[in-house]
Structure 1
Amino acid sequence: MLDQVRGPVATFLGDGTLVGQELADRFEGIEVIIPPPKTASLGPESATAPSARDWDILAIQKNGRMSWQKQTGYGRRSRGETLMGRFKQVIGTTLRSRKLNNQRTEAKLGAAVLNTMTTLGRATFKKVSA
């Protein structure tokens, strides 16, 4: 799948994937944000040369997982998943067109619809006192 990516990549948000080194090798200066498992332990060289994963583990141990998520911006992954869920609910789980060019157009239209929905914003609620 990575062979299909053209151009620079600034950030990769993942969940339980083992592609961190592959991404670092392919994309210069990429920020890989993958939470370590709850059972993760520090690497053997963490005292002298800690890896990014070691820093993540230490940050989670010190301040908790939710603090780490806020600090690293990991919550953006959740918003992406929510958007994909919305796409599937509003547009559907399959493309209806059979030809590739038509499928591309169909996907672009679906994305345009979701972008319009996103720019309209979310509902806001006000607390009403009784």
Structure 2
Amino acid sequence: MSKALAQGGRPKARYRTRNWREYDRGLIARGDLTVWISPDLAWHTSEGTGRRGRPRVFTDAAIQAVLTLKVLYQLPLRAAQGMAGSLIRLAGLDWQVPHYSTLSRRQKSLTVTIPYRARGGPLHLVIDSTGLKVLGEGEWKVRKHGADKRRVWRKVHLVIDADSHEVRAVEMTDHRHGDGEIVPGLLAQLPEGERIGVISGDGAYDTRGVYEASAARQADLVVPPRRNGKPWKRRTTGATERNETLRAIRHLGRRLWKRWSGYHRRSLAETAMSRLKRLGERLSARDPARQVAEVQIRCAILNIFNALGMPDTVARA
């Protein structure tokens, strides 16, 4: 008898990967530098900005490519310029290399492209937030000697496609903004014609604004009401759905409702947060606009990694 069964608990589920060979090739491809800079990339631009001064030499895609190297390998701007220049020379291309001052200036207003794979069916989205450090010492030093300077964090809100594990929307705020008030802006980043079937989130999203934003996209919202939650009297589509969820929980119990509604798929957002922080728990940029671009580039990296290969796992019988 297993230890879990002997203690009266459920046995731990075991999984196997069905596409290990393809996934293994994808993991190897994540180290290929040509993924980020290739001859097919539109590097130079001939379009003007409509402003006075010297016209732009590099496209947004070129700036994003170099900044991607910076974020992925946690390089200073000067080292990112040097790495991009070496890759261009090794590829035998006659491209110019953006100066580090150009990278710093363009990052502030950069329009980052976050690639994703279009899907035909309705989306199942999971939403969550996490914090990234801007200022402050390391965790070991704080625990050993205490904090010396003020600790500043930025709050990152992500919308994840539960089927492809890709980031579909991202927003960054300070700690004073609640999770629920950011949801309408996050959903607005998805194309209007794209169908959303289900949106899952934790109890922080049990607000009227989230239910109304979900109803506006004709999506079902899977969010557990607060423990002391009361039915909403205002008759709207969102309030009706929330009251039905409250009645189901009172009838089935919170634990059974979570299994019945598929709420546990929300944990995929926590997995995405963990992957985001593997690119660094600290933001290198100090300016808020540059921090937004840095976070968006991290999301683009995660989506490109997913496109190269993801495991197809199933529970063992």
Structure-1-length-normalised TM-score: 0.64
Whole-Å separation in 2 of the counterparts to 1:44 and 1:3: 27
1:111 and 2:303 correspond = yes
Matches within 5 A, 1:1-130: 1=185, 2-7=187-192, 8=194, 9-15=196-202, 16-17=204-205, 18=207, 19-25=210-216, 27=217, 29-44=218-233, 51-88=240-277, 90-93=278-281, 107-113=299-305, 118-119=310-311
- Tell me, in whole angstroms, the C-alpha distance in 2 between the residues paired with 1:3 and 1:109: 22
Give the Å deviation of 1:10. 2.1
Residue pair 2:200, 2:266 contacting (<8 A) in 1 also? yes
Q: Render the CA deviation track for 1:33-92: whole Å, top value 9, x for unaligned.
A: 1211110123459xxxx922222112211221111111111111122212312331x222
Q: 1:96 to 1:111 in 2, by over 3 A?
A: farther
Structure 2 counterpart of 1:34, which letter? V
Q: 1:93 to 1:115 in 2, by over 3 A?
A: farther
Aligned length in residues: 116
Alignment partners' CA distance in 1, 2:231 and 2:312: 45
The answer as to whether partners of 2:276 and 2:298 remain within 8 angstroms in 1 is: no
Partners of 2:191 and 2:269 in 1: how far apart? Answer: 20
- Please say if residues 87 and 114 of structure 1, whose CA atoms lie closer than 8 Å, have aligned partners that are also in contact: no
Instruction: Rate the CA distance shift 1:103–1:78 in 2: closer, same or farther, 3 A.
Output: closer
Structure-1 residue corresponding to 2:65: none
Larger relative contact order, structure 1 or 2 (CA cutoff 8 Å, min sep 6):
2
What is the CA–CA distance in structure 2 between the aligned matches of 1:64 and 1:102, rounded to whole Å? 42
CA distance in structure 1 between the partners assigned to 2:240 and 2:282 by the alignment: 41
Which entry has the higher C-alpha Rg, 1 or 2? 2
Identity, in percent, stands at 23
Equivalent position of 2:117 in the other structure: none
Structure 1 unpaired stretches of 5+: 125-130
Partners of 1:110 and 1:96 in 2: CA distance: 18
Structure 2 gap segments, 5+ residues each: 1-184
TM-score using structure 2 length? 0.30
Aligned letter for 2:279?
I
Question: Is the 2:200–2:263 Cα contact (8 Å) retained in structure 1?
Answer: yes
Q: What SS does the corresponding residue of 1:12 show, helix, strand or coil?
A: strand
